[in-house]
Amino acid sequence: MIGDHTTRPWGSWTVLDEGDGFKVKRITVAPAQRLSYQTHEHRAEHWTVVAGRATCVIDDSVLVLRSGESVRVDIGQAHRITNEEDEVLVLIEVQLGAYCEEDDICRLQDDYGREASVTQ
């Protein structure tokens, strides 16, 4: 739902917009934190960095993005975002697909002990 704000061990996200086949989030990643290494069965993601520097792992390839730079993660690609900096990382994530809900996550690795898979 638009305006939903969720805190995670690595930072937080807020839903900015959503509709049929898409969702847009503002994601903040705290310094020295990273999201789980994960895949999605039903959606692709497009990340654009707006503040800070993101170290992105996509299918075991590492890409560093700075403010104004972006990357697409296709459906099924393993991916993770890491903030290796001393300042908060802020990015906009556009999810595109038939299903854009939080239970479309298959965690391959997680620093916070969360369950490995929540994909429906």
In a domain, 114, yes or no: no
Count of positions (residues) in the chain: 120
In a domain, 10, yes or no: yes
- Number of compact structural domains in the chain: 1
For the chain, 120 residues long, give each residue's pLDDT as a single digit of tens. Answer: 899 999 999 999 999 999 999 999 999 999 999 999 999 999 999 999 999 999 999 998 999 999 999 999 999 999 999 999 999 999 999 999 999 999 999 999 999 988 765 544
Residue with tokens 């039903």: 42
In a domain, 113, yes or no: no
Give residue 38's domain range.
Answer: 5-108
In a domain, 116, yes or no: no
